[in-house]
Amino acid sequence: MTKLTWDCKENTTYGECALIHKEKGLIKKKVKHSDCQCTFPDCSLHGGVTLTVEVSINQRRLSEMLVYTNPGKEGTAAENFSCVIYDADFMNCSWAKGRAAPDDVQYFLYVRSKKRIERECPRYLKDSGTHVGCHLRDLSGLTSYSYFLVNGTSQEAGIQFFDSVLLLKEIEQYNPPDNISVQCNASHCLIQWEKPRTRQARSNRELQYQLDIERWRDTSSSRSQLIVVFGDSGNRYNFPKPGSKAKHTVKIRTADARKARWGAWSLPVEFGSEEPESSLVYIYVVVVLGTLVCGLTLGCLFKRFLKTHRLFPPVPQIKDKLNDNQQVDHEMLWEKFTHEAGKGDKEEVLTVETVSEAPAKL
């Protein structure tokens, strides 16, 4: 915010202020009744501006002009100033030493917050002792348009300042999308993802994505396709499934839809690879190895059983005919009986007689 004030000795009936900027041109503001000031929105002043005031007092028009210049020696201000927001919560700013700045120059960065309070950089990055950058971990309180001021000090010469008004939305570098997934059917592969986390909520129309799809054969990639997809398409892309079963990878990065400041690429996600065929080969190898291991194991167990049987033979036991389930053959073959009876012509007969005697009388 730039405020222009003047002394009011008489009541004004009309007033108008103007700021002539080298880049933005003419900016006009009306003066309120009996008000002796004008307020302009933030703009860079390091290149110098011209301010004018025109008022009407008692039907007389009075005008004044003020030329605002950047004090200090020409070429001593910080150069190549830039800032970038990353990971939604951090910001790095950098600049270079002025080409005409003395050796003892020291620069300081101030950022104007929402409550119009300027705060100094809490952590500087140095080059040979000179501040050439700043790291901010707390972005709370910063408005959409924030004012940055880099001034300097030196014992040898006056140092000019550098200031800039940055739209934080344009300097934010977005992270890659989250939760990238690929689902394929017979004809297409559907690539889906989620919006990355940003410093402030962004609609789908404010984001765009770039897809890098590569087709791989063996150990080399054949070609790469770069496709830009806008967020309003639903954070998805339908990729025609290739005829071959070659492995494919996809990487995605994010940028603002109006200013393509691309962030980092995501990790590659594979799809359409020859996983079914390779898995069958693995299954065959596992089955063959399992069969060999089982065969060797059974062979070792069988050999061990034979050795144990030789060392400890079974103990004979009495056969139990009552509990034995085997059938007893009670039939006698006639041929066997007749053959045994005809071995000799003589037949011996043994007769046993029993004689009973009466007891003797005494």
Joined tokens for residue 178: 């989250």
Is residue 319 included in any domain, yes or no?
no
Query: Which DSSP state fits 172?
Result: B
Total number of domains in the chain: 3
Spatial distance between the Cα atoms of 39 and 137, rounded to a whole number of angstroms: 31
Is residue 74 included in any domain, yes or no?
no
Is residue 334 included in any domain, yes or no?
no
Residue 102 pLDDT greater than 70, yes or no: yes
In a shared domain, residues 62 and 87: no
Spatial distance between the Cα atoms of 43 and 166, rounded to a whole number of angstroms: 10
Spatial distance between the Cα atoms of 152 and 343, rounded to a whole number of angstroms: 144
pLDDT in tens, 198-221: 888 888 888 999 999 888 766 666
pLDDT in tens, 156-195: 999 999 999 998 888 999 999 989 999 888 888 899 999 9
Q: In the predicted model, what is the mean pLDDT of the chain?
A: 79
Residue 354 pLDDT greater than 60, yes or no: no
Of 6-10, 164-168, 242-246, the range with the lowest mean pLDDT is: 242-246
pLDDT in tens, 280-332: 555 667 777 878 878 788 777 767 666 665 655 565 555 555 555 554 444 44
- SS3 state at 233: helix
Nearest to 250 by CA among 196, 209, 303, 301: 209
Mean pLDDT of 62-84: 91
Last residue of a domain, one of 42, 68, 94: 68
Of 25-34, 224-233, 339-348, the range with the lowest mean pLDDT is: 339-348
Is residue 241 included in any domain, yes or no?
yes
Last residue of a domain, one of 105, 138, 171: 171
pLDDT band at 339 (very low <50, low <70, confident <90, very high): very low
pLDDT in tens, 132-149: 999 999 888 888 889 999
Is residue 218 included in any domain, yes or no?
yes
pLDDT value at position 257? Answer: 85
In a shared domain, residues 223 and 245: yes
In a shared domain, residues 44 and 84: no
In a shared domain, residues 214 and 271: yes
For residue 194, give the CATH number of its domain. 2.60.40.10
Spatial distance between the Cα atoms of 15 and 6, rounded to a whole number of angstroms: 12
In a shared domain, residues 246 and 184: yes
In a shared domain, residues 209 and 165: no
Residue 114 pLDDT greater than 50, yes or no: yes
Spatial distance between the Cα atoms of 37 and 87, rounded to a whole number of angstroms: 41
Is residue 136 included in any domain, yes or no?
yes
pLDDT in tens, 22-33: 888 888 888 777
In a shared domain, residues 184 and 154: no
Is residue 120 included in any domain, yes or no?
yes
Joined tokens for residue 320: 């139990």
- SS3 state at 301: helix
Is residue 96 included in any domain, yes or no?
yes
Mean pLDDT of 77-93: 94
Last residue of a domain, one of 171, 189, 209: 171
Residues 6+ apart with CB under 8 A from 191: 180, 181, 182, 211, 236, 237, 238, 239, 250
Residue 267 sits in which domain range? 178-276
> Which residue shows structure tokens 């934080």?
168
